[in-house]
Amino acid sequence: MKNSLLYRPLKVAGLTLKNRFFSAPTSLAELSPEGHLTRENILYYKLRAAGGCAVVTIGDAIVDGASGRSHPRQILLDDADVIPSLTQAADAIHAHGAAASIELDHGGGLCSPDFVKDKRPRGPSDLTQPEGNPVYGLTVPEIAEMAAAFGRAAETVKRCGFDMLMIHGGHGWLLHQFLSPVTNLRTDEYGGSFENRMRFPLMVVDRIREAVGKGFPIEFRMSADERLPANFGGYGAETGMRIAEALDGKVDLIHVSVGNNIDWESCMLMHPGCFTKHGENSGYAADIHRRVGTPVVSVGAFTDVKRMEAFLDTGGADAIALGRALIADPFLPKKAMCDQEDTITPCLGCGECQGSMWATRTIRCAVNPIIGRESEYFAPPPISEKKKRVLIAGGGPAGLTAAAECAKRGHAVILCDAGDEPGGALFFADGVDFKAGIVSLRAVLVRRARRLGAEIRVGTRVNEAIVREIAPDVLIAAVGSLPIIPPIPGADAPHVIPGAKLRAHSPVGKRAIVIGGGLIGCETALHLAETGHEVVVIEMRDEIAPEATQLHRSGLLWRMRGNGNLQIMTGFRCTAVETGTVRAIDAKGQTRVFEADSVILAAGSRADDETTEALRGLVPAFYAIGDGKRARRILQAIGEGYDAAVDLSLPSV
């Protein structure tokens, strides 16, 4: 056992937690039609328990279904029919030695009228939502009834077998709305002074304590700083400290987060991605930990185990809650405890998990194909007794994933990559500080494939001769993509670099023009600007990076705005690349000339169909995956590598 505090038990109100890894509250958008946890939902939480966490918290359970729903489908704790699935979830978490917790919440004034009774969202004060919907201020009797609803919900989850619970008092939901001067405009005993604004949250704590008793731990999730833009107002760290001090001794754990959902930038800082620093919000927890006696939990962009250990060992907090890091690798705690950090699949901070929930009400992970289909972990598809000889052409994320998954299933795997080392398109991240997760991912994928027994040959391009030499039963084409070169005069000039071929060591002049303001173009421009280049992005559309998930785009724009070397020109079409200049016209047909020492083409990429088609038909069992099929993101590339391995391993009828 390692010596760090991270791995030692923590006693909370008579409950002994086996370590200091907490699975932060995460919710799932796709419940059953009735709002109950499905079998797949339960396995999502069970997987976190199996991975070694001490506490697994089910997120966002609503205490009053008539007035508190903020999303289309949520767990409604005042619906007696939800009790069986919650009981099954608690049992599933317990099966792996973890404590089961659940987050009690109410959307308040952030609820859509479509989700609440009488289409009347209720909050602390009469307000208007950004969408123009009116919010009605709760009356004093309604406030008391709302606190009672939290108490009844607490009774329910205790009856279902949960060991503890969390009160959601942050992120812009109802309790936080009472705490925030942005949303609490009351002039009675529930508004105005800090003590008055704190009155309702403390009333909720009291009602819950009455319902569950002293031996049942209560965790309170708070926003230590609203981190809102200056024009919003809102409270800062000073008020956050006062909130924590008011809770000290009244709850058993103080869970320190930040942010307010009323603003995308604040929301992005609440869920820090690759454009923020490791443990972005941990300083707030450390400050609070120094001032209160109640154990403190820190959350927000923890990904590196060594830093987690150091943070707890130097008194930063008593425990760390992980959300997206456990989606990327649910077994992070067990791997850390066994000194296997180099096998942990890193979270990229890309926002694919949250983006997929908003877009399709499903959950996906760019680096973990089992997420959203956890049943395949606990009940894997059958594997044929006949093992196959598998040849994989291409060592990018799709090919490496296919190699590891095929080898894990007992097949003899040979992966050939034309480069000096495998990694494919992942090499674009080298030297880019906000892409460090991708650099780590490449190393993990290569190590995993080799550790599981796949043979990797570099400097070897798969062709018909190689196929005949190896004589595989299965051929997987993961050959990568080619950059799209737009029909711009001068696009083939020596100082023009296709974005897909740009590397940290590529020679780029002082003045750089990036043609294309999609996600890749913007990230390239940001990196160049941060390394001292003067950069102009030319984009035909009226906005940049529209294909990015909302939180990832918010983080990108937040970081781009802070760089004086970067200029964005939307609504411009590039017409010519010349020596030392780039010409572009705007929507009115007016020409603008930009000085350029180097030009980066970021017009996207396309599948290398010629190479893929040359391999098709050489072996009866053939798969095209990743960029070998069509231009892909990491999510699809890894997913298709996994799917190919599962499919070719199935027994024949």
The residue extents of the domains of the chain are 5-376, 383-483+607-649, 496-603
The reported pLDDT for the residue numbered 330 is: 98
pLDDT in tens, 576-633: 999 999 999 999 999 999 999 999 999 888 899 999 999 999 999 999 999 878 878 8
pLDDT in tens, 405-436: 999 999 999 999 999 999 998 998 988 999 99
Range 5-376 classified under CATH 3.20.20.70: yes
The reported pLDDT for the residue numbered 653 is: 67
The reported pLDDT for the residue numbered 280 is: 94
The reported pLDDT for the residue numbered 615 is: 96
CATH architecture of the domain 496-603 equals 3-Layer(bba) Sandwich (3.50)
Which CATH number describes the domain made up of 383-483+607-649? 3.40.50.720
Give the pLDDT mean for 5-33.
Answer: 96
Q: Please tell me the pTM assigned to this model.
A: 0.95
> Which tokens is 266 given?
């604040």
Q: How far is CA 220 from the centre of its chain?
A: 22
The reported pLDDT for the residue numbered 1 is: 65
Cα 162 to Cα 210: distance, rounded to the nearest angstrom? 16
Q: Do 5-376 and 496-603 have matching folds?
A: no
Amino acid present at 546:
P
Place 652 in a pLDDT band, splitting at 50, 70 and 90. Answer: confident
Task: Select the more confidently predicted residue: 271 or 301.
Answer: 271
Average pLDDT over the chain reads 95
Cα 608 to Cα 254: distance, rounded to the nearest angstrom? 53
Give the pLDDT mean for 107-116.
Answer: 95
Give the pLDDT mean for 81-103.
Answer: 98
What is the percent of the chain with per-residue pLDDT over 70, rounded to a whole number? 99
Cα 341 to Cα 49: distance, rounded to the nearest angstrom? 18
- Note every long-range contact of 184-190, with CB atoms under 8 Å and residues 24 or more positions apart, other chains counting: 184/124, 184/125, 185/124, 185/125, 185/126, 185/127, 186/124, 186/125, 186/137, 188/140, 189/140, 190/124, 190/140, 190/143
Contact in structure between 131 and 119 (CB atoms under 8 Å):
no
The reported pLDDT for the residue numbered 631 is: 79
Q: CA nearest 403: which of 456, 359, 351, 458?
A: 456
Inform me whether the pLDDT recorded for 500 exceeds 80: no
- Coil, helix or strand for 618? coil
CA angle 376, 380, 386 (to 5 degrees): 140
Q: How many residues does the chain have?
A: 653
Contact in structure between 294 and 253 (CB atoms under 8 Å):
yes
Cα 319 to Cα 296: distance, rounded to the nearest angstrom? 7
Cα 143 to Cα 557: distance, rounded to the nearest angstrom? 39
Inform me whether the pLDDT recorded for 565 exceeds 80: yes
